[in-house]
Chains A and B, each alone.
Chain A
């Protein structure tokens, strides 16, 4: 498959700390099969506990769906994983060695966590091509950017991703002019250009047509195995299509976990969704 090629082309040592020598962090170590490990994470805003002793474990190569009513803490959880919000207490590890609570957002991006926002955030003033170029996994320090010049193989990779996200006809178009669904795809494409080990996807199919939604599901399923994926979604058809385990968040903690059918029949989950 195209994507696998693009990911495998990279030489072994090219990810992790060699490009970002100034980052004080260990190599990504997935030897125990755990990609993401959250333990007793608590985050409170002015007394309101957005996350309350949250525990979550994502295995390497797993595709996990997170569901939960509004205010359950899904977005806050992503903020904690990506370094936007510091937890008041608790542990957050990526692999065995990387302590996420000590890293900044760009550092976390570098160790291999990519994030797609709820509202598609792309660079609207840049072309589609430039969006992908900026996201591409490379040395992202100032001096390198000043001297950067796209090599042929890098152009090829961008072209492949463009094809994958079905925007190869729009490469030179200003990204702001794309349709909502196309923007979602572009953001997913940017995520793929980063070559992350863990993808966090916040409502990735909102605003997509059914056809686009199904294609997205197929893409995600194909990514699983090579990558770990955490998908937050309300669209149950989409969640069903993805398969895999489902975690239900409620009031900042895990309420239930299991496959979709089990979770949907859980009495507590039904109460939370339907109200008392």
Chain B
């Protein structure tokens, strides 16, 4: 009741106090009672007068004083009359009014609202954006006036929303109806929460308006859900991209040599630490170009991981040719050595790899749907690597040899393909791609000695689902698994989703033991 009275009062006040500040109002700022102060602040806000900004700012900065009946602003050794802004003589015993937290909050939002009248467009825009979440019914006239004055289309759109929000508390059902309708096209959770009280009889006596509000909330809900699912699908896509970078290399080595490299996850780790190393180098020697350490880390990670891969292939894997189960154990041993080596070299703790500034932030598609740049870039990067691998496998001599060995090793050997060299090259390539995966991973998760372990089971699953030595299979499996698991996470939680996925894969394998893209023919045992 009091609130509504106040609104009426404010509306009346705002009409009269258009030209100059009313000294009585200014005096009320220093009133004993907090509620009086709040009322005064709100009244002053309604004036939208630059002078009001001056006074409220002074109050927020604790420069407003009371000298007898006069309200003064004291800045250093100068004193001004608060109402007029004229310089006056320093009063004898200025009293400072109490400014508690409630008042401070009120002042802050008042100042923010008054920024809507700032001559600077950008200031107005930021103010309008900030306003969206803190509109009160009392602001309606102020917003109406701001809307009247505003020329910028973007700000105008924001103000229309804000004005509608403010009008939801209007006495007049027509005005409320108009407000609800104006909000129908929005899709922000805050507006939904503002509308929510109107969907109940207690909050909205008028049936028509209430039904409209219910319909609007429903519409917003469905848009929100869509945005949420889209967001999940996108994070699934980016997870799928990481899985793809992990699985591509695995698919190549498995296809060519028929071995499972259990140390593949650790090659990802090598790539991630190479990224960390590059960042450290840039910090030390090229601090001005720190943002560009990431592009420099890409080749570094590729070659670091490829080098480790070559050493692995030459010293261990080559000697276990044809003994696939033993290779599995030996590469597991290598992974243990690599993990411990990382612990010794870099410490057991995670190291910090920062996103370059151009990767922070994101694209806001809807109020509750922001696509972060780092994930967008990772998806793009994965596609780029995929393209390179495709070119390498299909358009180069090396790729032709690799494919030949994958399909029929003895025959490839007979026609002069240097199979041993191809093994090394393929292994190095697979390892290098894992290294690239490490670069991507370093941007979205922790970099530590154990990081590879978490991705190895997933990478295997991609290869298993995708089929042996099939790049297309790996791509579809990685993206499919990524998106499916993120969507599942949405309603079942991360752990259950993971278990469900693993169980699904185990069942899937029953039906298609050779994966989605099975090799068929007489060479398949």
Contact = CB atoms under 8 A, between A and B. Distances in A.
Interface in A33-79: 45-46, 48, 50, 75-76
B520 A46 contact: yes
Contacts of A75: 522
A89 B30 CA distance: 96
B521 interface: yes
B522 A46 contact: no
B523 to A, nearest CB: 10
Nearest to B524: A45
Contacts of B521: 45-46, 48
9 contacts: A45-B520, A45-B521, A45-B522, A46-B520, A46-B521, A48-B521, A50-B522, A75-B522, A76-B522
Interface size class of B (residues with CB under 8 A): under 10
A249 to B, nearest CB: 15
Interface of A: 45-46, 48, 50, 75-76
B353 to A, nearest CB: 45
A197 B9 CA distance: 108
A3 B521 CA distance: 38
B317 to A, nearest CB: 25
B415 to A, nearest CB: 16
Contacts of A48: 521
B503 to A, nearest CB: 27
Nearest to A73: B522
Q: Closest 4 interchain pairs by CB?
A: A45-B521, A45-B520, A46-B520, A75-B522
Contacts of A50: 522
Interface string B492-525: 0000000000000000000000000000111000
Nearest to A71: B522
A171 to B, nearest CB: 30
A50 B520 CA distance: 12
A46 B522 CA distance: 11
A47 to B, nearest CB: 10
A48 B522 CA distance: 11
Contacts of B522: 45, 50, 75-76
A75 B524 CA distance: 13
A5 to B, nearest CB: 38
Given A46-B521, A76-B522, 7 more contacts: A45-B520, A45-B521, A45-B522, A46-B520, A48-B521, A50-B522, A75-B522
Interface in B472-507: none
Contacts of A45: 520-522
A33 to B, nearest CB: 33
Most buried by B among A45, A48, A75: A45
A75 B520 CA distance: 15
Nearest to B519: A46
B126 to A, nearest CB: 61
Contacts of A46: 520-521
A45 B522 CA distance: 8
A50 B522 CA distance: 9
A45 B518 CA distance: 11
B135 to A, nearest CB: 64
A75 B525 CA distance: 13
B206 to A, nearest CB: 69
A78 to B, nearest CB: 11
A119 B101 CA distance: 90
Contacts of B520: 45-46
A76 B523 CA distance: 11
A203 to B, nearest CB: 15
A272 B298 CA distance: 56
A231 B120 CA distance: 95
A150 to B, nearest CB: 32
A69 to B, nearest CB: 15
A81 B520 CA distance: 19
Nearest to A75: B522
A269 to B, nearest CB: 24
Nearest to A85: B522
Interface in B38-89: none
B29 to A, nearest CB: 85
A46 B520 CA distance: 7
A45 B520 CA distance: 6
Interface string B84-108: 0000000000000000000000000
Nearest to B523: A45
Interface string B322-348: 000000000000000000000000000
A75 B522 CA distance: 9
A252 B522 CA distance: 14
A197 to B, nearest CB: 27
A200 to B, nearest CB: 16
Interface in B427-472: none
A217 B522 CA distance: 29
A73 to B, nearest CB: 10
B325 to A, nearest CB: 16
A48 B519 CA distance: 13
Contacts of A76: 522
B410 to A, nearest CB: 13
A2 to B, nearest CB: 36
A16 B521 CA distance: 32
A33 B292 CA distance: 83
B515 to A, nearest CB: 15
B522 to A, nearest CB: 7
A45 B519 CA distance: 9
B511 to A, nearest CB: 15
A46 B521 CA distance: 8
A54 to B, nearest CB: 16
A50 B523 CA distance: 13
A46 B524 CA distance: 13
Interface string B212-236: 0000000000000000000000000
A46 B368 CA distance: 47
A264 B372 CA distance: 75
A75 B521 CA distance: 12
Nearest to B520: A45
Nearest to A79: B522
B468 to A, nearest CB: 15
A76 B520 CA distance: 13
B443 to A, nearest CB: 40
A58 B520 CA distance: 29
